[in-house]
Structure 1
Amino acid sequence: MSVVRRRERKEKLRKGEEQEEVAVALKKSFVEKKGEEGNGREVWVALAVRQGLGIYRLYSTFLEVDNTLTYSVVVPEDGQWGKVLDNGTVTGMIGMVASHRAQLAINEITINDLREDVVDFTFPYYLESTVIVTQAPAARNRAFAVLSPFTLRVWMLVVASTLTVGPALACINRARNRLLKTQVTSVHPLSHLSFNAFRSLLNQSSPRVPGEWPLRMVVYSWSLFCITIYAMYAGTLTAELARPAHEASINSLVDLLRAIHTRGYKMGLVEGTSVEGILKEAESGIYWKLWDTFNTQTDYVNRSRAGVSKVLTGPYAFLIAQLSSEMLTERLGRQRFHMGREHFYPQSYGIACTTGSPLTAVLERM
């Protein structure tokens, strides 16, 4: 559009002779009523600058490209981002653009195949991944820390070995006497042999070692075993007491699935988001396994803020885009939350336009 033509249209717009309007779909929490023009039209502007998306700056740039355009902001009735239902209905902001009730949808709208079937997207203007937000790991109860170096199976084997050594020594001593047909030169009561085996396990020296070599070989072997067990126990216990005493954190989708099955965790999603879509459409793998545990009646939340707040109420994990997670957790107290170290499902955000709209090319040139 030439400078002369633009000035002519600008003058006509000022006089009210010509006006072109573009409706922009935005989530309600991203807009604020600012006032009224002289003709009584409501004027709305985006408040997404705090999100770092530069949407208000985009409006300014768009006005510089063609300042004869005026804008009205419409809000989707269901308040959702937008998804394609099984019956072909399109909800949320994407639905408003697909039905031509709005020509643009601007927000953290993820580009995916299902949405691209009903609207056109500009080139991605922002890329980020998805994270798992959970409550900060709580301090563990250390009342039984002395038992933590070994598993239950190892403890059972140690106890069984200790109880077996004494009777084994007594049987070997009796078999030796019968085989050699000699009189018993020294008495080794079973109680003494068993107690000495227990003393060796506690790294205490025995007051008397049997003089018979078969018994000595067993006692020396048992002592070597006890020294090894004692060293392993002492070293592992020291390391266990030195590390922070917190519960295991959830850092990946595998950790989340394990926590759901073993620790009673629930997984939360915002309905209509691309994260829900990637889990719901999965046919195998970790996405499919997680969706199989999801309760569509109780685990949905209507807003990301509600999902992050719900994390503080109990064993609950919320899947959310990284930028939003950082903003919301900072607002509620970053120290109260834990964000998984492993990110997943990289998302690209774009501006949704009606199919074939010339606005797509205009926006991509900015």
Structure 2
Amino acid sequence: MVSNGLEGLIFEGTFVTLMSRNSGGKIDVLTSRVDVSGIISFHHRGQIDFQKPKTIQRLHDLTRRDDQHLYTDMNGRFLKVSVVSNYGLCTLGREYDDGSVEPLSGTDISMVRALSQALNFTFQTVYPPDKTYGNPLPNGTVTGMVGMAARREVGFSTCSIALSNLRETAVDFAYPYVRGSLGIFSRAPKQKNRAMAVLSPFTLQVWICLIVSTLAIGPIMAIQSNVSLRYMKFKTDAKWDLQWYSLNMYRSFVLQGNRIKVMTWPQRFILYTWFLFNLIVWALYSGMLTSVLAVPEYETPVNSLTDLPRAVGEGFTLGVLKDSANEYIFKEATGGIYKDTWKLFNHEDRSESFVDGNSAGMDRVRTTIKFLCKL
């Protein structure tokens, strides 16, 4: 029969109607349907007689596909569901020799169990061969869970799989039921070394300014003293050279006092200014040093994509889940921060940046000091 030849050509999701005239002159109507075992075959729906009234309405009733109620009761049908491990969403247990895996818990596992009860089907969770989400490749093949669904090796795939234009060329997506965001995982920042804590209150530029000021104030006092003695005819019983002024101005800077006898008002003005400057510097230094020692300081973490170039420059390796929607987002970006981020991955040795699964990515983060992973 014609129906026997067509059964091997059609697949689930198509709806075919056959009509043939029987020996009694009536029309037999057959429609395609998936039975409990998952085999597509033609089933007799009824007969129509064009000699009777309302034949067209009868034909419409027999051949109408009611999508709303088509899968409301699957009569205990067995389905395979492809999954990958994902923390909190799809926690899996023991893996068996036949490729199946034990479903434990998670949002997606709970959703599949609820659907199986509501639609009356049984299921078995299986790993894709490469244990990835998958994407269509330029050579025409489709990898991961997407590939298993595209080849109809499973009834459907789940496990927080993201929608993308590329994947929609191979499979159909259900309505979204979870909205997530992109996260960057790294080891917790370590506390900074406190060996140089005494220098941390001021920046390098401030320390340079303080050193220059301390070295310059001694010669300034010496020059002013000699000018006063030579040209302004101030009388004094002692003469101090450059070394003496420099030593005493340094003593003032480190709050050890000084032994300079000030004889002129210009010198007094310089000393008053220098003493006030030292008071402000040491008040700031003492307060900031106390706060630095009281509050532990940690390494600068990676808080956003804009921090990634700095992290990579410091020796970090940037990772992402292989053949995932995250990789697709960065790879297909035409500009902006996503395109810049794509350039930061290690494309020469893809095994360094593109991990095989969520568990592998988290293991790399835990065991590698400088590794960042987007999951």
Length-normalised TM-score, structure 1:
0.71
- Establish whether residue 58 from structure 1 lines up as the match of residue 112 from structure 2: yes
Partner of 1:271 in structure 2? 322
The amino acid that maps onto 1:197 is M
**CA–CA distance in structure 2, aligned partners of residues 43 and 268 of structure 1:** 27
Does the 8 Å CA contact 1:43/1:72 hold for their aligned counterparts? no
| 1:140–1:293 CA distance, 2 compared to 1 (3 A) | same
| 1:106–1:46 CA distance, 2 compared to 1 (3 A) | farther
The amino acid that maps onto 1:315 is K
Partner residue of 1:24 out of 73, 81, 85: 81
The amino acid that maps onto 2:317 is K
**CA–CA distance in structure 2, aligned partners of residues 43 and 196 of structure 1:** 83
Does the 8 Å CA contact 1:23/1:72 hold for their aligned counterparts? yes
**CA–CA distance in structure 2, aligned partners of residues 223 and 189 of structure 1:** 21
Does the 8 Å CA contact 1:270/1:304 hold for their aligned counterparts? yes
Partner residue of 1:283 out of 334, 338, 347: 334
Compare 142-151 and 288-297 and name the one that shifted more.
288-297
Tell me the alpha carbon deviations over residues 91-141 of structure 1, each in whole angstroms, 9 at most, x when there is no partner.
Answer: 211122223333411222111222223322111122222222111222322
**CA–CA distance in structure 2, aligned partners of residues 165 and 265 of structure 1:** 46
Q: Percent identity?
A: 34
Does the 8 Å CA contact 2:132/2:143 hold for their aligned counterparts? yes
Does the 8 Å CA contact 2:100/2:127 hold for their aligned counterparts? no
Partner of 1:318: helix, strand, or coil? Answer: strand
What does 1:96-175 correspond to in 2, within 5 Å? 96-175=148-227
Partner of 1:302 in structure 2? 356
Structure with higher RCO (Cα < 8 A, 6+ apart): 1
**CA–CA distance in structure 2, aligned partners of residues 57 and 230 of structure 1:** 64
Does the 8 Å CA contact 2:101/2:126 hold for their aligned counterparts? no
Q: Report the Cα offset of residue 44 of structure 1.
A: 6.1
**CA–CA distance in structure 2, aligned partners of residues 237 and 26 of structure 1:** 54
| 1:31–1:119 CA distance, 2 compared to 1 (3 A) | farther
Compare 245-254 and 131-140 and name the one that shifted more.
245-254
| 1:63–1:201 CA distance, 2 compared to 1 (3 A) | same
Does the 8 Å CA contact 1:24/1:71 hold for their aligned counterparts? yes
Name the structure where helix makes up a greater proportion of residues: 1
Does the 8 Å CA contact 2:148/2:154 hold for their aligned counterparts? yes
| 1:45–1:57 CA distance, 2 compared to 1 (3 A) | farther
**CA–CA distance in structure 2, aligned partners of residues 142 and 167 of structure 1:** 36
Partner of 2:179: helix, strand, or coil? Answer: strand
**CA–CA distance in structure 2, aligned partners of residues 254 and 57 of structure 1:** 36
Q: List alignment gaps of at least 5 residues for structure 2.
A: 1-34, 44-74, 86-90
Partner of 1:319 in structure 2? 374
Does the 8 Å CA contact 2:100/2:126 hold for their aligned counterparts? no
What does 1:2-13 correspond to in 2, within 5 Å? none
What does 1:335-350 correspond to in 2, within 5 Å? none
Tell me the alpha carbon deviations over residues 36-78 of structure 1, each in whole angstroms, 9 at most, x when there is no partner.
Answer: xxxxxx8968615x2232x35534534543x3x5656554222
Partner of 2:228: helix, strand, or coil? Answer: helix
The amino acid that maps onto 1:61 is L
Partner of 1:47 in structure 2? 103
Partner of 1:252 in structure 2? 304
Q: Report the Cα offset of residue 201 of structure 1.
A: 1.4
Compare 16-25 and 147-156 and name the one that shifted more.
16-25
| 1:229–1:90 CA distance, 2 compared to 1 (3 A) | same
Does the 8 Å CA contact 2:365/2:373 hold for their aligned counterparts? yes
Does the 8 Å CA contact 1:76/1:96 hold for their aligned counterparts? yes
| 1:32–1:188 CA distance, 2 compared to 1 (3 A) | closer
| 1:125–1:318 CA distance, 2 compared to 1 (3 A) | same
The amino acid that maps onto 1:299 is S
Tell me the alpha carbon deviations over residues 253-286 of structure 1, each in whole angstroms, 9 at most, x when there is no partner.
Answer: 223331211x211112120111111222223333
Q: Report the Cα offset of residue 237 of structure 1.
A: 0.6
Length-normalised TM-score, structure 2:
0.70
Q: List alignment gaps of at least 5 residues for structure 1.
A: 1-11, 36-41, 321-366
Partner of 1:326 in structure 2? none
The amino acid that maps onto 2:326 is V
Partner of 1:195 in structure 2? 247
| 1:56–1:174 CA distance, 2 compared to 1 (3 A) | closer
Tell me the alpha carbon deviations over residues 198-251 of structure 1, each in whole angstroms, 9 at most, x when there is no partner.
Answer: 122122332444121111111111111111111111111111101114322222
**CA–CA distance in structure 2, aligned partners of residues 161 and 209 of structure 1:** 21
What does 1:235-250 correspond to in 2, within 5 Å? 235-250=287-302
